């Protein structure tokens, strides 16, 4: 009834070779549009207030630069009477 103690050696995990840092390619220049709030959005429809906030505008004469996408263009069209758009 002698028990044998077997020692099992586990192989050390192999380290993956270090990868060289990949230089990030310069992002293609995306079309942008500059939007400025020129009228107050207080006392407007709640959906219009939410749209102005969604565009990132906080106060009169506040300007933000946004990527020109169909989604952003739709938001701009919805509240165009409050905005000045360039680009």
For the chain, percent of residues with pLDDT exceeding 70? 74
Separation CA 64–CA 66 (nearest Å): 6
pLDDT in tens, 42-63: 999 999 999 999 999 999 999 9
pLDDT of residue 38: 98
Domain ranges of the chain: 42-86
Rg of the chain over all Cα atoms, to the nearest angstrom: 29
Spatial contact of 79 and 52, defined as CB atoms under 8 Å apart: yes
Spatial contact of 83 and 37, defined as CB atoms under 8 Å apart: yes
Comparing CA positions, the residue from 24, 30, 84, 87 lying closest to residue 57 is 84
- CA 60 vs. chain centroid, Å, equals 24
């Amino acid at each position: 009834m002698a028990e044998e103690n077997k020692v099992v050696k586990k192989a050390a995990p192999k380290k993956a070779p270090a990868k060289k840092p990949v230089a990030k390619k310069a992002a293609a220049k995306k079309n942008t549009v500059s939007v400025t709030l020129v009228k107050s959005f207080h006392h407007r429809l709640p959906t219009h207030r939410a749209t102005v906030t969604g565009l990132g505008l906080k106060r009169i004469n506040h300007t933000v630069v946004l990527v020109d996408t169909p989604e952003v263009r739709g938001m701009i069209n919805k509240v165009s009477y409050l905005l000045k758009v360039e680009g």
